[in-house]
A and B are shown apart, each in its own frame.
Chain A
Amino acid sequence: MMDLRELYQDIILDHGQRPRNKHAMEAPSHFANGHNPLCGDKITIYLKMEGDRIVDVSFEGRGCAISTASASLMTEILKGKTEAEAQQLFHAFQAKVTGGEAPAPDEALEEDFERLDPLSGVKAYPVRVKCATLPWRALEAALKSGAIGATVKTE
């Protein structure tokens, strides 16, 4: 049996209980809702893009420690990134938590990507992987849909 502390590392508990960038955004250029029907968790991701650069990002919603921490960490590393960089991080992160394969992100993104390491504990808990990826999937939907908004579901 895996030690629970591998899943609930201090970083996760900290970001789960004191999430950063958790607030609504006025006039976002992009936003989307993420919904996990399995547990009822809901999250909204807001982006402010200038050109193809994310100048501001925030989220709102209610979720478990894993999804909240994942959203919080995600918003911290996304500020200032381009859309292409965000996509790279999304695919690499998905591979990290599912044990799948994806190209490693560019060298310039390495440090940011390492900040997501504490979330890799969910790999041992297949039903919880969706908690960690929900904010990222909402991000991807937001990038696609722009100011019209969209809703993605994990199921």
Chain B
Amino acid sequence: MTTSAKLREIVPSDAFDPRRIRRDFPIFENNPGIVFLDTAASAQKPASVIDGIAEFYRRDYANVHRGVYRLSARSTELYEEAREKVRSFLNAEDSSEIVFVRGATEAINLVANTWGSAFLKAGDEVVLTELEHHSNIVPWQMLRERNGIKLVVVPIEATGGLDMVALERLIGPRTKLVAVTHLANATGALLPVEKIVKLAHEEGAKVLIDGCQAAPRMALDVRALDADFYAFSGHKTYGPSGIGVLYGKRALLDAMPPWQGGGDMILTVNFDETTYQETPHKFEAGTPDISGAIGLGMAIDYIEAIGRNRIQDHEEKLTGYGVDVISAMEGVRLIPAGQRRLGVLSFDVENVHPHDLATILDQHQVAVRAGHHCAQPLMDKLDLAATARASFGIYNDESDVDALAAAIKAAQEMFAR
């Protein structure tokens, strides 16, 4: 693959320049003038990922972990290389701790279905927060139906941050798992996950972190965090859709029973007894999303070439600018996100329903999400049916925020009567 060589040419080493980065993303060339502010739903893809996947199919494709022939060996090598890239991306200890799944949703379902079914029993408590995405709520409700666990929900404060006093009170001896978002998709609230992990571990509970929004926006270190499980999706991290990652500490993954059965996850099969592969392969039944995993590896190459600290810096500055601009607008209410907000602005425009707003913004080429953001419990808490949400990526700059503000003004004028 020649992508890393190409990247060095196109990524400037000095200043972070979203205008130049934008040129790496063909979607902007094909949709001139678009102001794309919906990266929290899914990120656009750099040419190195799009072309890299096509090139992989052209030159190196065969099934993995099977063939004796060289082409299959090469495909397998690229697939496992991608696993190693993810390991380094998360700073996990060993690549066997990286399980490829369809996305963060599947990652969380996997933990609920294997670890949850094997180790949790009636009366055990799983602690969630009001900021969770449906994907970190529903799998636990389904587990509750199966084995009678109890769900405990940590509230948010009026300022939008997690109520840490309540969290400390709610984590107790019956808590077996704290499943928490790293960065809330609906509001952009960045949670103090280090502290949450520490509090959970003091009570002997494990911690699962939903890193969907954090993975594309900040440097991650699962070992420094001491996270037990960490999940993220490829498509929100500038990679392809259909691939995601579950990180789990090796000892935990080893102790977990497999979930789906099939090829690739077994050592031997006969009709009396089947023995399973080791971690992580025992969780990857069937032919995996080979090109998806390799594409995710390419996205990670791209992100690392830019530098994750620089990406986080950029997101922080742009978020700060967005907060200043939006909160200065008359008739616009920014949904609070606690003390730290990153990459996401949720807001409500007086007298303009978010759905109408999104239609009008679209007419101004501004793409935002309007709705409940798969966080209906949070919307109920905020007493809103929906909000409009603008979210940033590495290709956005201040001009996108200005275009958003101008389009909001146009909507307000249309509805001012």
Contacts and interface: CB of A to CB of B under 8 A. Distances in A.
A and B associate:
yes
Interface of A: 1, 4, 7-8, 13-14, 16-17, 38-42, 62-66, 68, 125, 128, 131
B371 A38 contact: yes
A131 B414 contact: no
Given A39-B385, A40-B386, A63-B353, A7 B370 contact: no
A4 B363 CA distance: 7
B360 interface: yes
Nearest to B360: A4
12 contacts: A8-B360, A38-B371, A39-B371, A39-B372, A40-B371, A40-B372, A64-B355, A64-B356, A66-B355, A128-B355, A128-B359, A131-B355
Contact of B355 (A4, A13, A17, A41): A41
Interface of B: 351-356, 359-360, 363, 370-372, 376, 379, 385-386, 414-415, 417
A62 B385 contact: yes
Contacts, number: 54
B414 A8 contact: yes
Contact of A4 (B385, B386, B414): B414
A140 to B, nearest CB: 22
B385 A17 contact: no
A7 B359 contact: yes
Contacts of B356: 8, 16, 64-66
A40 B385 contact: yes
A40 B359 contact: no
A128 B385 CA distance: 16
Contact of A17 (B354, B359, B376, B417): B417
Contacts of B354: 39, 64
B403 to A, nearest CB: 16
B415 A13 contact: yes
9 nearest A-B residue pairs (beta carbon): A64-B353, A40-B385, A64-B355, A40-B372, A40-B386, A39-B355, A65-B356, A64-B356, A39-B371
Contacts of A131: 355
A133 B356 CA distance: 15
